[in-house]
Structure 1
Amino acid sequence: MTHSTADRPLLPVEEFEELARRSPKTVRLEFINGKIEVKPVPDGAHYDIVRWLQKLCLQHVPDLWLYPERHVKVEKYRNGRAIPDAILLPDECLNGEGGWSDPEGVLMVVEATSHDSDTNRRDRIEKRDGYAAADIPIYLLIDRENCTVTVHCEPKDGSYRSLTTRPYGTPVELPAPVGFTLETEKLKKFAR
């Protein structure tokens, strides 16, 4: 039996991109750690969390924009393909970008966990490591299962050197290059 890894993927990344392009809109495919991942279509609370965060970013960093569900190249050598719940970039930065954006210029990537069996491995481990390997400065994980917010920052050598976890309702600092305090009380409304 052949196991895939980022070094020995199941298929070339170009073939994955074609497969993802042709997949039905009811599923979202990602290519993480050399294998195809099926990401569940978000529920309403998931979208509300991203909308809430968009409003906060617009208030605090109006020259930046939080783009929902933007396809991004991740991992070492950019061989992975992820669809984060949102990415923070300078406004109008995607002009001319193709289907999968290079992580250059991405200041923060956001994931809100889903209520499925793969969320621990996918959002808390594999995607975190892929974002760090792509040198994305901040990975914001909104953990709906644990009702916590985790800020991963200072990527170096494929991992984040600093992380801060706070329960919903506790302010958490989004360091530079974002640079504002995230008031998380509203997230309690989206908990289940």
Structure 2
Amino acid sequence: MTALSDRPQMLPEEFEEFARLSAHAAEGVRLEFINGKLRAKPVPDGAHGRIIEWLTRICIQGRPELWLYDQGLKIQTYRGGHARPDGTLAPSGAFVGQGEWATTEQVLMVVEVTSYDSDSDTDTDQRDRVEKPRAYAEANLPIYLLIDRDSCEVTIHSEPDGVRYERLQTLPFGRTVALPEPVNLTLDTEPLKDWIR
């Protein structure tokens, strides 16, 4: 018997329509549908955007054939879902013709930068540190990079097995981070120290 809390709040198709209709009404949040639950993600602040800019520049310099997109993804687990990572690394042109919610076949890495939630850190903890790693691993996305502004750490999740990431490496800001295959980039995370509270 399925517990009531395990049931999806809506179908993925219903979420797409709800998100489309709510796009203008929901100022200050971005909607996602993870593990059958509707989630509101705070709109990024200036330092959050600066971190994505920093990472985009590194990706362009090291792998010019790739692009770090702001792209919604269809994360198809047993309950379906839609996630909007802060960054989605894929070949240039990978999402042409796919619309707001794209498939994940060409995705090499997804990136999340923790937000400073106005209510509490519980939402960020649940969303970025628990739900997203599971959903991204279930979708077999090769790498999930978490830039955690609360703990001042970078966590590289890799080697998804369809349930979880089998390899996790966490390093403090300031260390050199090697992103494994298929990304193959090195990050000097020293600048991240300047973009935290």
Q: In which range does the TM-score fall when normalised by the shorter chain?
A: over 0.9
Please, what is the CA RMSD of the aligned residues?
Answer: 1.3
> Which stretch has the larger CA shift, 52-61 or 92-101?
92-101
- Listed one character per residue, the Cα deviations across residues 116-167 of structure 1 (whole Å, up to 9, x for unaligned) are 2200000001011100000000000000000000000000031000011000
How far 1:98 sits from its partner (Å)? 2.0
Shift of 1:4: 3.7
Q: Are 2:66 and 1:61 aligned?
A: no
SS at match of 2:137: helix
Structure-1 residue corresponding to 2:144: 139
Indicate conservation of the 8 Å contact 1:10/1:34, yes or no.
yes
Determine helix, strand or coil for the equivalent of 1:141. Answer: strand
Question: Aligned AA for 2:53?
Answer: R
8 A contact 1:147–1:167 mirrored in 2: yes
Q: CA deviation at 1:3?
A: 3.4
Amino acid at match of 1:79: G
TM alignment of 1:74-153, pairs within 5 A:
74-77=75-78, 79-116=80-117, 117=120, 118-153=123-158
1:77, distance to aligned residue in structure 2 (A): 4.6
Does residue 29 (structure 1) correspond to residue 31 (structure 2)? The answer is yes
TM-superposed deviation, 1:78? 7.3
Q: 1:137 & 1:113 partners in 2: Cα distance? A: 20
Q: Secondary structure at the match of 1:76?
A: coil
Residue 21 of structure 1: SS of its match in structure 2? helix
Contact 1:75 1:132 survives alignment (8 Å): no
**Normalising by the residue count of structure 1, what TM-score does the alignment of the two structures yield?**
0.94
Residue of structure 2 equivalent to 1:71: 72
Unaligned runs of 5+ in 2: none
- 1:52 to 2:54 alignment: yes
CA drift of 1:25 comes to 5.0
The reply on whether 1:18 has 2:17 as its aligned counterpart is yes
- Once the two structures are superposed, what CA deviation does each residue of 1:47-72 show, in whole Å capped at 9, x if it has no partner? 1110110000001111100012x100
CA distance in 1, matches of 2:192, 2:162: 32
Instruction: Give the whole-Å Cα distance in 2 for the aligned partners of 1:101 and 1:137.
Output: 16
- Deviation per CA, 1:91-122: give whole Å up to 9, x if none: 11111112211111100000000112200000
Q: Between Structure 1 and Structure 2, how many residues are aligned?
A: 188
Deviates more, 1:17-26 or 1:55-64: 17-26
Structure 2 equivalent of residue 160 of structure 1:
165
- Asked if the contact 1:78/1:134 (under 8 Å) is kept, the reply is no
Alignment gaps of 5+ in structure 1: none
Structure 1: which 4+ aligned runs deviate by more than 4 Å? none
CA deviation digits over 1:9-33, x for unaligned, max 9?
1111111111111112512111111
Quote the residue 2:43 is aligned against.
41
